Amino acid sequence: MKKIKLFKTLSLLVFLLSIIFIYPNFNNNLPSWWKYAFPDNRLNLGLDLKGGIFIVLGVDEEKVLPIIMAEEERRIKDNLISQDILIRNTAVSSNNIKIFFYDLKSLKDAKKELDKNLITENIENLSLQINLTNEHLADKKEILLKQVKDILNNRIDQFGVIESSIQIASGDRVIVQIPGVGESQRSRIINIISKTALLEFKPVIQESSTKQLLLSKFGKDKIGSEFLIYKLNDNTNEKFIITKMSSPLFGTSINDAYVAYDQLNRPYIAFSLDSKGTEIFSNLTKNNIGNKIAIILDGKVKSSPTVQEQIFGRGSITGNYSFEEANDLAIILKSGSLPVPIKIMQEKTIGPSLGSESIDRGKISMAAASVLIFIFMFIYYKKLGVVCDLALVFNIFTIFGLLSLFGVTLTFPGIAGLVLTLGMAVDGNIIIYERIKEEIAKQKEKVAAIDVGFEKSLSTILDANITTLIAAFCLFLLGDGPIKGFALTLSIGIFSTIFSNVIFTRVITKSLIKAEGIKV
């Protein structure tokens, strides 16, 4: 009796909590105290149900390898310099890095610090060649893709879009799904996603009205190796500037970026730098008072103001921006630049009408499955069939309560997982009822038959559901997108089904036991 009382209390508690968790889905204007007492998460709809944007991004393969090699060169140099090892020069090719030293001692010391399996030694010209394997390069590429994913997540979150899904697929693709975004926001989203946002601050060496003058003065052979020429975005006349190849300060030092307005109410992007960036920027402006500093974004000069005085941790980027353009650029700069350039491989906008059609189909399939199950169980098991139907309703409430609690994004395959769960829930009840019929056939009293039926069916129900749960877990780990949605809803349904079969069904069955008994 104590066990049944406990089961009744648990069932009532779960049912009430499920109603509380589901409630926010039907009321967008929750009272202010609600979030302090209960969760206010909602069941979200996926791209296939709500419509939105689907984008497949790919890394620019031609540019990835040089970036990886440059990063490896910088890492190796920093490591050796930190060990007080003198380096004369370095050279980078497609898959190896050569390091030249001043003396044999430096070479030997460096060799101890590096991976011996990757090194080719040349004592004659005092150099070490580090040969990077394809596996090593693939691992570095995977790390870069994960960084791309994290940065894109930050950008989309700051844009104010919820329920977005960003996943790495096939090792070299990033899939972005943003439900609920219409055609009007499409171009802004694509612009935010696809921009590399490499921000550089470079002192201007010279400005000229013609590119040829700069080429002749600094030498064509040095352009691209020591210097770079940029065209200014000036509407009045054509101007060119030349800067050094390397940049002393990058956008990675930006701590915050936001939209501000000048005296004429024109928007611009204001930014603040971290401690390291502040130090570099203050020295940069101090040494260039009276000269121009070019602010370059993705290879294009956004502005080149003349430094009037030393500037510390704050600056601005001006231009003919609308508020949306300035805000989008601030979002991009704040979230950081992408470590590798990316390009759009596939892009499509899914209309809300297709999503509503999928929702209607899902509703019809769930309703039809539920009705057919109700009718079958009532015809075949009579009053026990009614118990099963009540357990099924309880199970549906519990599942949607859990989905809402965790703020799950429901997709069409997820609906398929829910429909499958309904069938599995009934299967557990059938196992219990057939076991009860066997015990009654052995001339046991109905109360004892019911107790034995539930006890001896428990292991079978657990075995069946746990094996399915393992399969769902594997699908979730190894699958992408819709497969994950299917696995997640199926897993939540399994937990709810076990509780419904083992606890709730037993409580209702016991409650229906009367003096005249139950026909089975």
Q: Tens of pLDDT along the chain (520 residues)?
A: 577 788 888 889 989 999 998 988 888 788 888 878 888 788 877 777 777 788 888 877 777 777 788 788 888 888 888 888 888 888 887 778 888 888 888 888 888 888 776 777 777 788 888 888 888 888 888 888 888 888 888 777 776 655 677 888 776 788 888 877 666 677 778 877 877 777 888 999 988 888 888 888 888 888 877 888 888 865 556 788 999 888 888 877 888 888 888 888 888 888 888 888 888 889 988 899 989 888 888 888 888 888 888 888 888 887 778 888 888 888 888 877 787 778 888 888 776 655 567 667 767 877 887 788 778 877 877 777 788 888 888 888 898 898 888 877 777 777 778 878 877 788 888 888 888 888 878 877 777 877 788 888 888 888 888 888 898 888 888 776 667 778 888 888 889 988 888 888 888 887 776 534 544 4
Residue 349 phi, psi dihedral angles, 5° rounding? -110, 125
Report pLDDT for 117: 67
Name the burial class of residue 201, with classes exposed (0-12), middle (13-18) and buried (19+) by CB atoms within 10 angstroms of its CB.
buried
Report pLDDT for 468: 87
Contacts of 176 (CB under 8 A, 6+ apart): 53, 54, 55, 56, 57, 152, 156, 164, 165, 166, 193
Sheet holding 173-179, edge to edge: 165-169, 173-179, 52-59, 342-350
- Write down the pTM of the prediction: 0.60
Report pLDDT for 515: 39
> Are the C-beta atoms of 514 and 503 separated by less than 8 Å?
no
Contacts of 297 (CB under 8 A, 6+ apart): 197, 198, 199, 200, 251, 317, 329
| Second-level CATH architecture of 195-330 | 2-Layer Sandwich (3.30)
Name the burial class of residue 253, with classes exposed (0-12), middle (13-18) and buried (19+) by CB atoms within 10 angstroms of its CB.
buried
Give all strands (DSSP E) within 362-476, no chain letters. Answer: 409-410
Report pLDDT for 190: 81
In CATH, which superfamily holds the domain spanning 2-51+351-511? Multidrug efflux transporter AcrB transmembrane domain (1.20.1640.10)
Report pLDDT for 501: 85
